[in-house]
Amino acid sequence: MVIELQDVTKTYGAEGQTFRALDGVSVVIEPGEFVSIVGPSGSGKSTLLNMMAGLDTPTTGQVFVMGHDLARLSDAALSDLRLREIGFVFQSFNLFPALTVADNVAWPLEFAGVKRARIRAAVSEALASVGMARREARRPAELSGGEQQRVAIARALINRPSIILADEPTGNLDSRTGDSILDLLSDLNDRDGVTVLMVTHRSDAVSWGSRTIEMCDGQIRSAEREVIACRG
């Protein structure tokens, strides 16, 4: 397994005015899966993804990533685990507008202290893998939304992670462009064996993934190939 949650709850707020975002969630993600996490707004999808990334901590329960109990890791060790094993893709792209495409893709390696010659080769390879070769000198404002998301995916791949966590990666794109991004993530999953976990509102997401986790009221209602509708 690459990720495991054991009876995880997450509660926000003070006593008497609390909201339980996750309610006893247990799930195992195996290497090479493409898992779509679906459900209505407020169902706990993004909180679940944040737990898997170590960006949030459980109120109760345990989270394991690549065999590591995240609660037992120091801040430095957790940051290193994210840098080595996890690539992030966001709905809003999160590109730096003043930087070129190449510099946007390169910064995780620069942060890790990798030598510049190796960075150049890795950037070229990552951009080629997402169909963005020869765009290195462009800036985000010169690209379409779909092209910006491809750059964001190249950045997520730059460290050759085992896991990609994508939070609504097609949310700011039209359906046709969104399909191309899902096709790209599926190709990376098939070709390179990268484990993909994607939060999405798209009801047809199961067509691209190997499994769908359907959430409702902070709980997993289904974790199968076919989705059971969330009825509250």
- Position 102 scores a pLDDT of 96
Does residue 231 fall inside a structural domain? no
pTM of the model: 0.88
SS3 27: strand
Quick one: which of 165, 193, 183, 178 has its CA closest to 37? 165
Residue 200 has pLDDT above 80, yes or no: yes
User: 140: alpha, beta or left, given left = phi > 0 and alpha = psi -120 to 50?
Assistant: alpha
Count how many domains the chain has. Answer: 1
- Residue 116 burial (CB < 10 Å; 0-12/13-18/19+)? exposed
Does residue 43 fall inside a structural domain? yes
Average pLDDT over every residue of 22-45:
94
Residue 228 has pLDDT above 80, yes or no: no
195: domain CATH number? 3.40.50.300
Does residue 229 fall inside a structural domain? no
φ/ψ of residue 80, rounded to 5: -65, -40
Does residue 52 fall inside a structural domain? yes
- Position 224 scores a pLDDT of 65
- Rounded (5°) CA angle 5-6-11: 85
The domain of 182 spans 3-222
